[in-house]
Every structure is written in structure tokens, then in C-alpha cells.
Structure 1
Amino acid sequence: MTVEIELRAARVRYGPLEALHGVDLAVPAGAVTVLLGRNGSGRTTALRALAGTVPLSAGRVVWRGADVTGLHAHERARRGLCFVPDLRAVYDTLTVAENLEIAAGGGQFERALDGYPALRPLLDRRAGTLSGGEQRMLAVSRSLLSSARVVLVDEPTQGMSPAVATRTYELLRTLDAAVVLAEQRLPSGLGAAASTTVLVHELRRGSVVFSGEPGERGPARSEPDGAT
């Protein structure tokens, strides 16, 4: 498989704390990659390092053979990277329609409404007044409306009902992009489509402890919660 984007010996520090310890992580084109781990494992930091929202203290980010370590997040976005964080992922003071218009670059946003019909009656509502699950639908809609080559989503189904969560994984699987999800647990909904390649990188305390297909991963071992 062709590698779309990757971390090479990536280290990230938050003050005196090193959150990633020389992580090597390759994201294939056209596949769904899951960064798995509990709070404090480094999964969110790895996602942010790919997005460019946290700087590396050492190592590199390589995108299709080009070193993009020094590119800011907005520059990576212009190159075709869509990042949906777990927090502050929508514009609270704008309406749902205005959020979708921004995500669509001023164009049509019907695809988002087809994916999440529950957003149709909410178009005139301010995003900050939505429930947690509704805000998450709106946030994930950004990935549906972009033409990104790399889509990074942190906790994509947080606050969603089981049915909407299943629908969300179906939508993410259909994207023509390298999709990377940060999750605490391996989503069961990702294994439903045999045509979709799913790879897992499990992180623990800032290091990758497993890389492979979901079926190759043994029972998860417990670890203490952390602060990262």
C-alpha cells in the first residue's frame, strides 16, 4: 500500500512531559487507520502532530515523500488535510447552515445533509445550542464536504447514539482519502465492509505497542489513565 502521510521518529513535548517517544507511524492511502489507546496514551497527540496543531520536538512528518514538518496547520489544510478535533470543532456563534457553508468552501452542502438528515431541521440554529451528538454530526460533516486527501478525526462518534455512530463509520469508510481516527476502543462498525482496509496502531504511554490489522490484535491490556 502507498503511504500517504507518516510520522518518523516523532517526539512531542508539553513542557517537561514528553507525550510521544520517537513514534514511527505510517498512514496508507485509501485506508482507515485507527490510533487506539486510553487517555494519556498519546493517540490524540499523534493525530495533532499529523495535523500540525502541535509541533514536534524531534522527528519528521512526511507527506507523499515531502517533509512537511515545518508547515503550519493552515498550510497543511491548503494542501488537502482535514482535521476534526474532539473539542471546539464547530463555530458556536454561527448557524448550522453557516458552518456547513464554510466547510463546503461556499458551495453546496447537500452531501452533509444526505449523510446526516437530522441536521436539516437545524439549519437555522446556532451551533452552540446543539446537543453534543448534534455538534459532532456537524463537525464530522466537514470531512464529507472537503476534497481532502487526508482526513483526521478525533473521537468521531462522541455523544452520538449507536445508530448515528454506525452511520458515521459508514460515511467515513466511503471517503476517497486516507482516514485516521483516534479512538479509545476499536469501533465494531469499521469491520463491516470487506472492501475497506482497516489498520490499527495501538499506543501506550507515548509509544506504539501494536501495529496491524484488527484481527491480529490480542486482548487489550489495562493501563493507568494519564494527562495527555
Structure 2
Amino acid sequence: MSIEIALRAARVRYGPLEALHGLDLPVPAGTVTVLLGRNGSGRTTALRALAGTVGLSAGRVEWHGTDATRLSAHERARRGLCFVPDRQAVYTGLTVAENLALGVPGVPAPDAAPYPELVPLLSRTAGTLSGGERRMLALSRALLATARVVLVDEPSLGMAPEVAARTYRGLAALAVEGGAAVLLAEQRLPDGLPDGSLVHELRRGSRASSGEQVEYR
């Protein structure tokens, strides 16, 4: 199993508080990996550390075995990393079409869009969308891009069950068919993940357990 990106002995501090305590987190290519944990467990911080939107106080980020700790978030994005945070994931002052164009070339045709529900809304500004519609727009960037690393914090936040199921199928396809390293931060293990998906449970900034998804059902 080839490791695409990883945290090695990673520590992150927010002022006097340490959010990650020497976390080792390998994220293999061609696989869906899930970070499970309650709020405050460190799962969001782990994604941000990999994406470069928060700095490490100790440890390193490795990408294909080389030290990428000093690469900025923009440099990591240019190298093929796509990060979808749980909040503020779209540009509210831009239209749906403009948001899509920032992540992928052109505007998808209705039969090619991961969320056809967005097609009639292409001219609307993202700030006028519902929470679920904004989440679909944010996830479209990950599902349409050809990224090597896809990091998503709570993919189905605000989505209807049918749309959430479609989202997880799309994310699974990125790994299984596209070979991407897909890392999802979740409070509970979602349905619809491919066989062989990996799970790491975080507690208070450390890895409490690891295994395949069948062990967490």
C-alpha cells in the first residue's frame, strides 16, 4: 500500500492548548481513510495540518516520502491537494458557476455534474444558497477535480440522505477508480464506503485505535 501523504509525530498548538499530540497519520493512495472522533478530538486539525492551513509546532508532513512541511497551502493545492473544510468552503460573493470555475475548468453540463440540483442555480450567488446546496457546491470541487489528495471535513453536513449517499459513492470512486488518497473527517462511520476503507479513531489529539471499516460497524 503506497502512502501518498502523512503526518509524522505531528503537534499543533492553539495558544497554550495542544490540539495534536505527536500524531502519526498515514494516508494511502487509492484508499478511503476515515478519521473518527468527537468534536475536540483533533480530526479537523489533522486535516488542516495536511492541507497547510495550520502550522505544526513539531513533527512533519510527508508527501510521497519527502518533507512537505514548509509548503504553503497554495503550493500544496497546485501539487494536487484538494481540501474541503466543514465551514466557509465556498465564496459567497461569487456565483455557483464562478465557484465551480475556480476548481475545475468550465462549467459542467447537467449530465456531467455530480449534483444536477446545482445546474439551475449556476447564475445564483453562493451566499443565497441553502446549507445543503452550499455543501454540494463545495463537494463539487473535490468530485470534479483530478486531485492526488482529497481531504473533506464532514462531507454530508446539511445534506439529505439520498444526496449524502451519492456523495460518498463519488468520493469512493475518486479513490478506487482514480487512485486518489481520500481522507474524511467524521463523527460517525458513514455507509457506502468501499471495502478496505481504513479507519483511525482520534481522542484528544491522539490516535486511539485503527483498523478496517468492518471492525467499526
- Report the TM-score range of the alignment, normalised by the length of the smaller protein: over 0.9
**CA gap 1:78/1:112 in 2 versus in 1, 3 angstroms:** farther
Question: Cα deviation per residue 1:102-160 (whole Å; 9 max; x = unaligned)?
Answer: 111x4343389531010111111110100000000000000122221000001111000
Structure 1: tracts of 5 or more residues without a match: 219-228
**Following TM superposition, where does structure 1 have runs of at least 4 consecutive aligned residues deviating by more than 4 angstroms?**
none
Partner of 2:142: 143
Query: CA, structure 1 residues 83+111, in 2 after alignment: closer, same or farther (shift >3 Å)?
Result: farther
TM-score, length of structure 2 as denominator length:
0.94
Aligned mate of 1:181, from 179, 184, 189: 184
Q: How does 1:70-219 map to 2 (within 5 A)?
A: 70-104=70-104, 106-110=105-109, 114-175=113-174, 176=178, 177-190=180-193, 193-194=194-195, 197-217=196-216
Mapped to 2, the partners of 1:137 and 1:170 lie a distance apart of 14
Q: CA deviation at 1:212?
A: 1.0
**What is the Cα deviation at residue 28 of structure 1?**
0.6
Partner Cα separation in structure 2 for residue 86 and residue 112 of structure 1: 27
Sequence identity of aligned pairs in percent?
Answer: 71
TM-superposed deviation, 1:189: 2.2
Opposite residue 117 of structure 1, the aligned amino acid is P
How many residue pairs end up in the alignment? 213
The CA distance in 1 between the partners of 2:106 and 2:96, in whole Å, is: 14
Alignment of 1:60-79 (within 5 A): 60-79=60-79
Please list the CA deviations of residues 163-185 of structure 1 after superposition, one character each: whole Å capped at 9, or x if unmatched: 00000000111112110000111
Q: SS at the partner of 1:201? A: strand
User: CA contact under 8 A between 2:43 and 2:202: conserved in structure 1?
Assistant: yes
Distance 1:141 1:108 in 2: 11
Unmatched tracts of structure 2, length 5 or more: none
State TM-score, norm by structure 1: 0.90
Q: What is the aligned-residue RMSD (CA, Å)?
A: 1.4
